[in-house]
Amino acid sequence: MGRDPASLDLNLLVALDALLEEESVTGAAARLHVSAPAMSRTLGRIRAALGDPVLVRAGRHLVPTPRAVELRPHVRTVVASARDLLAPRPPADPAALRREFAVQASDLVLAHLGARLITAVARQAPGVTLRFLPESLEGTPALRDGRLDLELGVIGHADPETRTEALGVTGLVGAVRPGHPLAARTRVTARAFAAAEHVGVSRQGRVHGPVDDALAALGLRRRVVAVVPGWSAALALCREADLVGLAPPGVAEVLGLRTFEVPLDLPALPLGMAWHPRNDADPAHRWLRDRVRETWNAGEAGAA
């Protein structure tokens, strides 16, 4: 009957490799940083496992048996393969990567750094594809389930094991079309801001939000005539109608909108990235996280 695999001690292979290479118990012990008596006991276990003396005395030296000579190249190959298998993986070579990453990002984040991130990834790793998935995955166990590699945005619902990293914060400015009455003002007051018609953004369809709380603290109230699930849709409506929307600085201008400082004390939006621990040490995933971090920092430096 064959030996029970559960009873195998694969450390014996490492010791056998050293013994066959050194043909000396003392030499093998020094190579593996153990005592000579410990290596002698290990040799005894190897002999019992193989049913062969392996190394025998020839004068003042040890010489391998025919069985040991036969095993030597096989043991060397197995031990070398095991060491390669367990060695830390080298950093990813971006030019050699052939991989898709599933990324969930709000259109707020995509507008803020999406184009620059895509450009940076394509320049360094032409074999990498970023698949941006819908925001409907936010708040689901998609990271835990492996359906999502990376989440970018306001991270506030992560599973306990999820790794998170803060990127920074972004404020919001008011955005209107060039013909809007507020576009001609050098300074928009809270009262004028509240008197305008607004478009809100909420994936849950909520009408009330932090803007309304800040206005209420001043004894003011705005009229929200529409609520849409994404920032891009809100800005598109502002471009076509006399509506006030909110956007990160630098985003609305690309769409031809005029922007102004919101006359309220609004909290900044904390943005970050989140991923599952299974990808924490993966070289390719680490490379992608580095690109996200660098892209964000480059954008912040450019805006300074």
pLDDT tens sequence across 230-274: 888 899 999 999 999 998 887 888 889 999 999 999 888 888 999
Write down the pTM of the prediction: 0.68
pLDDT of residue 270: 87
Indicate if the pLDDT at residue 5 is higher than 50: no
Mean pLDDT of 56-70: 91
In 3D space, the residue among 76, 14, 72 whose CA is nearest the CA of residue 45 turns out to be 14
Owner of token pair 């835990």: 144
More confident of the two residues 220 and 139: 220
- Two tokens, residue 191: 């009262």
pLDDT band at residue 212, thresholds of 50, 70 and 90? very high
How many Cα atoms are found within 13 Å in the side-chain-facing hemisphere of 213? 5
- The Cβ of residue 4 has, within 10 Å, a number of other Cβ atoms equal to 7
pLDDT at residue number 170: 84
Higher pLDDT, 9 or 63: 63
- Determine the pLDDT at residue 157: 65
With a pLDDT cut of 90, the percent of the chain lying above it is: 61
Of 255 and 216, more confident: 216
pLDDT tops 90 at residue 139: no
Mean pLDDT score across all residues of the chain: 88
Per-residue pLDDT at 1 exceeds 80:
no
CA 25, CA 43: separation in Å to the nearest integer? 8
Tell me how far CA of residue 187 lies from CA of 92, 205, 263, in angstroms: 50, 30, 9
Q: Which residues pair with 69 in a beta bridge?
A: none
pLDDT of residue 11: 86
Residue 241's pLDDT is: 95
Considering just the CA atoms, what is the radius of gyration of the chain in Å?
32
Q: How many Å is the maximal CA-CA distance in the chain?
A: 104
Q: Is the pLDDT of residue 7 over 50?
A: yes
pLDDT at 48 over 80: yes
**pLDDT at res. 303:** 55
